[in-house]
Amino acid sequence: MICAGVDAGSRMLKIVLVDDGTLAVTASGVLDEGIDQDALAVQLLERLLAEGGVRRQDVRAVVATGYGRKLIGMADAAITEVTCQAWGVRRRVPDARTIIDIGGQDSKLVRLKPDGAVSDFAMNDRCAAGTGRFLEVLATRLGVKLAHLGELVQRSRKPATISNMCVVFAETEIIGLLASGTLPEDIVAGVQGSIATRVAAMAGRNLTEPIIFTGGVAMVPGMEAALQSALGKPVLLAPDPQMTCALGAAILAAHRVRGRHPPAC
């Protein structure tokens, strides 16, 4: 039998399927977000089930998380992404103590107790300067695809200084840098450093290792190194970092099947 976790994020919708007994991942998939998150979730789930030869009635429980979690009609429960990230990351990295998650519209810091329970967390969802949105703005301004930013940053030899912490003003600054002849790769490195600095300010100095990096932004080459430099501590990239939250939701769905009912949020 199968349990499903649906992460209805601000930019992407992710689903992870796990065996309800072993918690082994049996399938996962991603779709770009749209207006009707519920319909997209059904579409993606049906595709994953069909590819694996699994019947819909074999899905015993579904837990939704993320911005759109309360819009997922097939979900048996809606649980916050902070809780789901904790479960997903500890499944992948059992001794994790700090999670830094940077997504399209927010960034989060989650501190974990030795047993994996959430100790406390901080979130930036008010300003795009510490999120993937900054990278999207940059890619648009440079006329490249977001996926190509990693190729550019690898060529940087002199990262530009991005002094503005607001994306709106930083975009104007980027235009000025381009006009003055600053190389695109150095601007990309500067923006990555700026994002990392913003997240480090939110995190503070008292971070317990291991520090695990998750979220869509974690998949952009260069961000791991930028974050490590800003924190002054080693940062480990989570395996399949975009899917850890959906994985945690799937694990919590399996716990519901076993009679352990996590709190709905």
The average pLDDT across 11-19 equals 94
Over range 215-243, report the average pLDDT.
93
HEC string for 74-140: CCCEECCHHHHHHHHHHHHCCCCCEEEEECCCCEEEEEECCCCCEEEEEEECCCHHHCHHHHHHHHH
Question: How many domains in the chain?
Answer: 2
pLDDT for the residue numbered 15: 98
Of the pLDDT bands very low, low, confident and very high (cuts 50, 70, 90), residue 41 is very high
Residues 256, 173 within the same domain: no
Residues 113 and 214 in one domain: yes
16 contacts 246 by C-beta, under 8 angstroms: yes
With 80 as the cut, is the pLDDT of residue 50 above it? yes
pLDDT of residue 101: 94
Query: Is the domain of 218 the same as that of 101?
Result: yes
Tens digits of residue pLDDT in 131-184: 778 888 888 888 888 878 888 988 989 999 887 666 767 788 888 999 999 999
Q: Do residue 234 and residue 245 come from a single domain? A: no
Structure tokens at 198: 């913003």
Instruction: Give me the domain span that covers residue 175.
Output: 97-238
Whether 114 and 137 map to the same domain: the answer is yes
Structure tokens at 38: 């519920």
Residue 249, domain CATH: 3.30.420.40
Contacts of 239 (CB under 8 A, 6+ apart): 92, 93
Q: Residue 38 carries which DSSP code? A: H
- What DSSP line would sit under 43-67, residue for residue? HHHHHHHHHHT--GGGEEEEEEEST
pLDDT at 265: 39
Q: Are residues 103 and 82 in the same domain?
A: no
* pLDDT tier for residue 262 given thresholds of 50, 70 and 90: low
Q: Cβ distance 56 to 47 under 8 Å?
A: no
Tokens of 181: 């002849």
Residue 263 confidence class, pLDDT cut points 50, 70, 90: very low
Average pLDDT, the chain: 89
Q: What is the pLDDT of residue 195?
A: 87
Q: Are residues 133 and 264 in the same domain?
A: no
